[in-house]
Structure 1
Amino acid sequence: MNIKDIVNRDLVNLTNCESEPIHIPGSIQPHGFMLGVNSQTYLIDFCSENSGSYIELAPQAILGKTLSDIFPEQEAEDFKNYASKAIDSAKPFVFSFNEVPYNTTVHKSNETLVLELEPFPDGTINLPNLYNQTRTFVSIMEKTSYLHDLCQEIAAETRAITGYDRVMIYKFDAEYNGDVIAESKREDLVSFAGQKYPHTDIPAQARELYIRNPLRMIADINYTPVPILTLDDASEKTNKSLDLSLSILRSVSPIHIEYLKNMGVGATLTISLLQNQKLWGLVACHHYSAKTLPHYTRLSALLQGHFLTSQISVREVAEEFEVTQNVDRSLTEMLANLHENNQFFEEYHSSDALLKLANASGAAIFYNNKLYKNGITPVDEQLVNLFHFLADKYKSQGLATHSLSDQYPDAHAISQQAAGIVYHALPGNADGIIWMRQEKVETINWAGNPDKAVLPNEEGLRLSPRKSFERWMEVVKNQSAPWRKSELHAASGFAYALQKHINYRVIQTQEDANRALNEELKTANQELANLNWISTHDLKEPLRKIQIFASKVLDREDPDLSAQVKDSVERMRVAAEKMQNLIEDILAYSKAGNSEKVFEEIDLNAVLNNVLRELRENIEERNASIETQELPTLKVIPFQIHQLFLNLISNAIKFTESGKNPEISVKLSVVKGSDINDIISPQKDFYSIAFEDNGIGFEKEYEHRIFDVFQRLHPAHKYPGTGIGLAICKKIAENHKGFITAHSELGKGSVFTLFLPVTR
């Protein structure tokens, strides 16, 4: 019998270090032994050289045999049943040899079942108390508000569970440099908290393995790799290899071992933290002597990683939401100032809210060759030069950067005031708006010189990791704090509104021969003021998810959830449902103004009868009486007139005091336009369709405001609604070249009169 090993002996040099085949080392760590079983025949194709140290059988006595030749026949048969189903990596199979039990973790590598057998350290399984561990995490989760604090607690709890000398939590940046954002350690050890490790410490292929295999243990840095053996088949033209990407015993890259030795580490455990299938960070456990962690304790540590992973996006979103709330308040204030005052540039350009909506230290607007400055800014000449440069390069797409020196040649001269900027163009040659942030001189504490992270060894034949982990400080200049998404969105929204404001000012300065068109433009601008912020956000999908997840939480009725939590979730669901109704009404309002206007000649009596049939249940429930006069036949948009009649009659029923029978009358007359309004077609005749009721009414001061979007006169809990229905009625009337008025007296009912032009 010829036996060969499959050890990968390729040297890692300066040309191939990024492609080191660390997933097929052909060797394992010695704190267990490995068998590779053909998944079809169940013959043993691979065996680690140290099998005799554990089960008194050398590889020669194992290779080519079946599991029943090695272990009790019943166990071998049970394993076949175990492997034929979905393998649960958290629940190892147990083999025994000479009454010694072995935890056997199993995974499939191509056609090979990889069995990794580890003896129980103390002869017991030592199952963790998952209830206590989960309860502890919930307690930690409740007492920590921010992600950094949560990471610190998880680091301390993981160290308590595992007993390692040091537990760190890394967070990777966009280039995969790692920041130590939390640490728990022995008191006598030097802290690594706040230090930054270059991306070369964990090369790309290692990061890929961390994604595929979330837990990695090195029991003893000074171990001697154990070769994996297989039968030498002369007919095979290529060397056998075994992909150990998912292996817990897989031998480690020699460069990584040397790196850990240079750090003085004796044993490690690493847990991956993933977000959206990307490596967000790591839980890195270091011990300064050899340490073998039992299987179920490893799982407890892995569970800590899962706990933390489940909270990362939640905490990041919560922290971003906190910033967003403050930003949105300032944005709302500035939008109100912008749309309510035509002298914005002169009166409001210096408002603190303009800076706060992007959390900027300075802002400048260049309009009609005039500068309007706010906060800390460069001198006028430097600003004008910057505006002209940005207009040439970024007029169409704008620019957001925390390092202006990367784009602007003269940035160094203004970095103290404008190291980072957000720029949006405005109508005009070089007109625009810039938010600025001052230079933030940052000292980065690298764990060793990042430029010397990997070096050729003395012979120059292969790579060696750096030997020095002395704190190496790098001073970064000409950069500001990065801009958050919420700040960029707010700046973009305000710049867009400012563009519209400028355009509107231009329109106002022109002679407008058509007064009706001028009124229409004013109305459109006022609506933009009300809807500008909402129209820039996609609300429907987040609300749908809130309702779905809230319903799932309530449906499961987890006994661990308190009544207070369930009540909060129900309140959240109801609030989301109310918001959903609001969005639907906004969409209906938008549809009323933007839908295709197809006019048909329709008998309005038929429209009214359809509405009354639709409201039959409401009418019968409230015992309402409705009197109608004969209505004309007109060219209208049928579904819009139906919506208008429906809104007016349903409002008349709804806004009647409880216990009082609604009385509604629909009356028709013809009036001259000059008798009603000298702006809208004074020479035309109009049909006047009046909807009178005996409802609760409202005060005279609201007769015009009641048609504004979101205008409510009564509490929502007593009279449900979104405040958009009458705004829709107004829009429909305008679509028909008509208008609508309201007259009322508090407690004595209301009259809503629809005026539609008489067509000859």
Structure 2
Amino acid sequence: MNIRNIVNREIVNLTNCESEPIHIPGSIQPHGFLLGVTQPDYLIEYCSQNTADYTALPPEQVLGKRLSEIFTDELAGQFHAYATAEIDTAKPFVFEINDTPFNTTVHKSGNTFILELEPFPDGTLNLPNLYNQTRKFVSIMEKSSYLLDLCQDIATETRYITGYDRVMIYRFDDDYNGEVIAESRREDLNSFSGQKYPHSDIPVQARELYIRNQLRMIADIHYEPVPLLALDQAGNKSNQSLDLSLSILRSVSPIHIEYMKNMGVGATLTISLLQNQKLWGLIACHHYSPKVLPHYTRLSALLQGHFLTSQIAVREVSEEFEVGQHVDKALVSSLELLHQHEDFIGACHISPLLLELANATGMAIYYNRRLYTSGAVPPEDELLALVHFLGEEYRAESLETDFLASVYDRENLSRHAAGIIYHRILSGTSNAILWFRNEQIETINWAGNPDKAILQNEDGFRLSPRKSFELWREVVKGKSRKWKKSELNAASSFSYALQRHINFQVIRRQEDRNRILNEELKTANKELANLNWISTHDLKEPLRKIQIFASKVLDREDPDLSLQVKDSVERMRFAAEKMQLLIEDILSYSKAGNMEKSFEVKDLNIILENVLTEMADEIREKQVTVEADRLPELQVIPFQIHQLFVNLLGNAIKFSKAGVAPSVKIRLLSVTGSDAGTEKIQQDGLYYRITFEDNGIGFEKEYETRIFDIFQRLNPAHKYPGTGIGLAICKKIMENHRGYIKAEGQLEQGAIFSLYFPVA
């Protein structure tokens, strides 16, 4: 029979301990022995090398055998029933070998049952009095008001139950540096209370194992690891590593053993304290000589851990609640200030309530380039620099930190602003509200210098854990007290309320400005209406008289007038006619925008026929050809559509090429709004596109949008008469119909005017 051990022989030192495979050491501690049994035949494929010490059977007589060949058939059958049911890890199976009972804890690793057998020669289970233990915990819980008091009582009770020389409650910070927050010890031992230990003392993978297996015992720090053995034969998979994550006998890292030896410890028991599946802390028990703790006493100690774990969140919430009550009261009063004062920023910044709602030592509001401060704050120039820095770096964020120097390191700033809460109160500006906490210099008592947690051995070839655990003090500067959740929530709530009030104030001021502008607009509209009346009525009469008298002068006095006088009078009459035309066009433009919009369902073909009839003489004279598709019925303002068609046909005739008969093609197409190439109409809406395409002189592409501006002319007035208002009227009419007009043209290649009417 070939047998091999499965000891993990990877060289471990402090340069690679973060990746040390501590869950598969391939060895165990010697205060018991281990069997690995496969299903379904219950064949022993693994065993520890020390089987002969407990069973008188060496590994060669154990490996490859069935359980029934090592124990009695009756015990093997009972174990089969125990293993096939749900295994109760709290209640071990009991094997008996040579009249010695063994507590056997069982768990599965893959398809292998791992049996860990520990002898208790006196034959007693030593069951704990769970009722008394629970009753005592309830009594402790009732008298302990705060978490630290409860931890101290649990440490004392755990030491009483287990008999260890020292029991500590050890709490981790966010970086997994540990601190002893409670301790019960022999009177002759030095206290470790309040000391901190660097995160490197417990590597990542060790913390993971503490989460998976909440209890670990080292019975004798000076133990010799016992190798695990497996059959080595063809086709046998036993040569693989055996996962001992859940094992109680698992051999521990040699680095950890060396660390405990350096502390002078002889035996340990460690119980995990978990919160939300994270390692909150440990109950760490130290003994200064070897100590094997019986199974049920271990369970009693584990129960103490469960008791404490059940209260951690409750006590933390309770302590937070006490702070929260005070903070909430200040928050409510601060919010009342916002409602009670018109100048609420001025009222709030002088009130101590704003400091109390976050338990801050200083506060500042920066609004409209002005600082409002309360309490102890940095000098104004430094504070303004900080506000502008935060405004640039945290444009859409808030910031809370107890170590401002980590993001904004300025000399002496920590005196008043070691910690801050920052909230922007108006998007896109530097306006913000800040709470400050001054520097709280902290003295940390490390158990040895954390910078020398790793030392080089005298041989110079290997790194090892530190040997000194003497008190080493570190003074931490530049930090403030940590902000509590209730304080952060209160600051956030007030910032949000302040932002709402400022926005409301801005809106109200804008409404006042809009109201004043509306009044001014109404007055201007009245004046404009009067101006329109003057333009369309009062000015027409003088112009008419100018035209009449000019004509009379030319008709009656013609023989007696010099050519120069005749030319001047003729120019006067022409200017009066032009001005009259301009007034009429202005009136038409005004009517297009301001007349009451009376929509009717009309057949556009009828409107087009009326326009063609009205313009028949001009069309005949110019020999104009008009081709038109069948147009739809639409809900329109009839006289405006009539004016629209007149203007577009009139333009096509007016701007025709010399010697070329004008041609106008009117086409219809159904399209979506995106076809127009503008955001002024609905992109996914359905539209009728009616195009007027001519063969005239066209225009350059740069004028496609400017052509619709009022008084915009592209050609000289003496050659193409007009006022430049016609297309502006067309644009206004299309806007009245929730549509759009678009012009396209090329010089000497004609023009296309597209009308987009909404289908619905």
Cα deviation code 1:674-703 (max 9, x no counterpart):
xxxxxxxxxxxxxxxxxxxxxxxxxxxxxx
The equivalent residue for 2:346 is: 346
The equivalent residue for 1:696 is: none
Partners of 2:231 and 2:238 within 8 A in 1: no
Q: How does 1:588-607 map to 2 (within 5 A)?
A: none
Identify if the C-alpha distance between structure 1 residues 238 and 143 changes in structure 2 by more than 3 Å, giving closer, same or farther. Answer: closer
Cα deviation code 1:305-351 (max 9, x no counterpart):
01111111111111111111111100000000111111223233121
Alpha-carbon offset, residue 511 of structure 1: 5.0
The equivalent residue for 2:484 is: 484
Alpha-carbon offset, residue 425 of structure 1: 1.6
Q: How does 1:266-285 map to 2 (within 5 A)?
A: 266-285=266-285
Measured in 1, the distance between the counterparts of 2:364 and 2:330 equals 17
Measured in 2, the distance between the counterparts of 1:177 and 1:122 equals 42
The equivalent residue for 1:355 is: 355
Measured in 2, the distance between the counterparts of 1:273 and 1:147 equals 14
Cα deviation code 1:598-657 (max 9, x no counterpart):
xxxxxxxxxxxxxxxxxxxxxxxxxxxxxxxxxxxxxxxxxxxxxxxxxxxxxxxxxxxx
Partners of 2:15 and 2:463 within 8 A in 1: no
Measured in 1, the distance between the counterparts of 2:382 and 2:294 equals 65
Measured in 2, the distance between the counterparts of 1:348 and 1:235 equals 80
Measured in 1, the distance between the counterparts of 2:61 and 2:183 equals 48
Q: How does 1:517-596 map to 2 (within 5 A)?
A: none
Identify if the C-alpha distance between structure 1 residues 48 and 238 changes in structure 2 by more than 3 Å, giving closer, same or farther. Answer: closer
Measured in 1, the distance between the counterparts of 2:112 and 2:460 equals 38
The equivalent residue for 1:306 is: 306
The equivalent residue for 1:421 is: 420
Q: Does 1:77 align with 2:77?
A: yes
Match for 1:120: what amino acid? Answer: F
Partners of 1:108 and 1:114 within 8 A in 2: yes
Q: How does 1:204-603 map to 2 (within 5 A)?
A: 204-235=204-235, 239-410=239-410, 412-427=411-426, 429-512=429-512
The equivalent residue for 2:88 is: 88
Q: Give the % identical residues.
A: 68
Relative to the length of structure 1, the TM-score reads: 0.66
Relative to the length of structure 2, the TM-score reads: 0.66
The equivalent residue for 1:151 is: 151
Counterpart secondary structure, 1:387 = helix
Measured in 1, the distance between the counterparts of 2:72 and 2:24 equals 31
Counterpart secondary structure, 1:430 = coil
Cα deviation code 1:180-226 (max 9, x no counterpart):
11110001110001011111111011111111111000001111111
Q: How does 1:166-181 map to 2 (within 5 A)?
A: 166-181=166-181
Measured in 1, the distance between the counterparts of 2:419 and 2:71 equals 68
Alpha-carbon offset, residue 506 of structure 1: 2.5
Alpha-carbon offset, residue 239 of structure 1: 3.9
Counterpart secondary structure, 1:122 = coil
Identify if the C-alpha distance between structure 1 residues 134 and 51 changes in structure 2 by more than 3 Å, giving closer, same or farther. Answer: same
Identify if the C-alpha distance between structure 1 residues 198 and 354 changes in structure 2 by more than 3 Å, giving closer, same or farther. Answer: same
Partners of 2:211 and 2:277 within 8 A in 1: yes
Measured in 1, the distance between the counterparts of 2:463 and 2:134 equals 44
Match for 2:422: what amino acid? Answer: Y
Alpha-carbon offset, residue 73 of structure 1: 1.3
Any gaps of 5 or more consecutive residues in structure 1? 519-760
Match for 2:424: what amino acid? Answer: A
Cα deviation code 1:435-493 (max 9, x no counterpart):
00000111111111112213343445544111111111111111111111111111111
Counterpart secondary structure, 1:413 = coil
Measured in 2, the distance between the counterparts of 1:418 and 1:14 equals 39
Measured in 1, the distance between the counterparts of 2:249 and 2:511 equals 82
Alpha-carbon offset, residue 396 of structure 1: 1.7
Alpha-carbon offset, residue 146 of structure 1: 1.1
Identify if the C-alpha distance between structure 1 residues 285 and 402 changes in structure 2 by more than 3 Å, giving closer, same or farther. Answer: same
Match for 1:4: what amino acid? Answer: R
Match for 2:472: what amino acid? Answer: W
Match for 1:425: what amino acid? Answer: R
Partners of 2:230 and 2:238 within 8 A in 1: no
Counterpart secondary structure, 2:7 = coil
Match for 2:418: what amino acid? Answer: A
Partners of 2:30 and 2:50 within 8 A in 1: yes
Alpha-carbon offset, residue 386 of structure 1: 1.3
Partners of 1:12 and 1:463 within 8 A in 2: no
Alpha-carbon offset, residue 368 of structure 1: 2.1
The equivalent residue for 1:631 is: none
Counterpart secondary structure, 1:395 = coil
Counterpart secondary structure, 2:445 = strand
Alpha-carbon offset, residue 508 of structure 1: 3.5
> Once structures 1 and 2 are overlaid, which stretch shifts more, 7-16 or 74-83?
7-16
Measured in 1, the distance between the counterparts of 2:390 and 2:490 equals 20
Q: Does 1:11 align with 2:39?
A: no
Measured in 1, the distance between the counterparts of 2:141 and 2:237 equals 57
Measured in 2, the distance between the counterparts of 1:499 and 1:469 equals 53
Partners of 1:342 and 1:505 within 8 A in 2: no
Larger radius of gyration: 2
The equivalent residue for 1:61 is: 61
Q: How does 1:740-755 map to 2 (within 5 A)?
A: none
Measured in 2, the distance between the counterparts of 1:497 and 1:227 equals 67
Partners of 1:49 and 1:59 within 8 A in 2: yes
Counterpart secondary structure, 1:54 = helix
Identify if the C-alpha distance between structure 1 residues 152 and 350 changes in structure 2 by more than 3 Å, giving closer, same or farther. Answer: same
Match for 1:311: what amino acid? Answer: Q
Measured in 1, the distance between the counterparts of 2:113 and 2:371 equals 72
Cα deviation code 1:499-522 (max 9, x no counterpart):
12222222333453888xx9xxxx
Partners of 1:439 and 1:477 within 8 A in 2: yes
Counterpart secondary structure, 2:64 = coil
The equivalent residue for 1:606 is: none
Cα deviation code 1:89-116 (max 9, x no counterpart):
1000000012111111111111111111
- CA RMSD in angstroms comes to 1.7
Match for 1:310: what amino acid? Answer: S
Partners of 2:364 and 2:371 within 8 A in 1: yes
Cα deviation code 1:547-577 (max 9, x no counterpart):
xxxxxxxxxxxxxxxxxxxxxxxxxxxxxxx
Q: How many residues align?
A: 515
Measured in 1, the distance between the counterparts of 2:73 and 2:323 equals 64
Measured in 2, the distance between the counterparts of 1:236 and 1:293 equals 36
